[in-house]
Structure 1
Amino acid sequence: MPKLAGDHVQVLVDSYELAGDSNRVRIDEARDLFDITAFGDEARKFSPGQRMMALQHAGFMNSAEAGSHPVLQGAAVDNGVASAGGGLACLHVLEAAASDAYVITIETSGSGAFAGEQSVLATFTLDGTALGSEQVKIAGRILRHVRWKAKAAPVASDPKYSGEFLIGSYRPQIMTGGTVLFTATLKPATGDAPEWGAV
């Protein structure tokens, strides 16, 4: 198979061409595969879902005023409108339990704190009690941070684990972009031993 010269590749972000800063462009195309294996099957079984495609660009950072860094950092997905028509939120319920009902929403936040400043982009009518698919149009502004939330109130007979604990370890970790994650390990302390009960 003949080689494809690099000057035949063109990647545009708005009107800026990334080809001059590029050293790799990778295109991945595949399908979602859902595991449908049942107990007793001799082999794992899968069902194909939607097509997935991603384009990965790698290159040299160019921080000039009209270079790759300011162009990519200011792209539409970063604190901007998703598209001229807003956006589209999709929910596919592949496993359901009639006893577990949720309010499922999509939220957005400019800071990523999700401490009251967030706004709701979409609310689904599907609640997890039955299989199904749903699409909800988003007309509002989509900020930099987006999350989905499934909320359900505890009901009588729900299991709970209670007791007194101490923090055995606390490990903060600084991630790219200044985000700080932490892992806390809780261990039983004085008082009654932790035990399972019901709400």
Structure 2
Amino acid sequence: MHSENKRDFDAVADQWDQEPRRLKLAQDVVAAMRDSLPLNPGMDALDYGCGSGLVTLGLHPFVGHITGADSSKGMLEVLNKKIQAQAVHNVTTLPLDLEHQQLEGSFDLIVSSMTLHHVQDVTALVATLSNALKPGGWLALADLETEDGRFHDDPTGVLHHGFSREFLTGEFARNGLTDVAVVTAASIEKKGPDGNPRRYPVLLCVGRK
């Protein structure tokens, strides 16, 4: 990620969960993942770009263990406080450079929500995540469907204006994933420049190694 276009997530970490629309989006994505994936207590999962852990904690009751990975120390501190406050025993955190650091270990499930548009080389990222799956493991990536660039009020750190269904399924197939499917996980409503509401779909692409 280019330093001149990188958002300071540490600075907004403490206020991140105060946006109702953000909470609703995480709930919708978790619901779509539950519908689309064979979640089970034997799964060792990773939430890549977990932020404050909204999706991480939404999934933890349905898997054996889940690691929340993020490059923002501030976001991980918020998640760690939640883990302690809720006495959750199957969630851990991992500081991880989302752009340059390779993943170690292998997982039964890797999920990510609203992270792809902050990563410069998405093709390389999908390959990295696919390689970190165990045979039979699942990859599930959620992000905005291609939009006109008006979704983000502050474009800092936004490197892509969403992704098409064809791009996502193509990258999954390129990395040998099967049972690839795309669903609309959520729809975010925001007022456009003309004051009228606009809907921005969030896609969830899943595939099995």
Q: Give the TM-score taking structure 1 as reference length.
A: 0.22
- Which structure has the bigger radius of gyration? 1
Structure with higher strand content? 1
Structure with higher helix content? 2
Higher RCO (CA 8 Å, separation ≥ 6 residues): 2
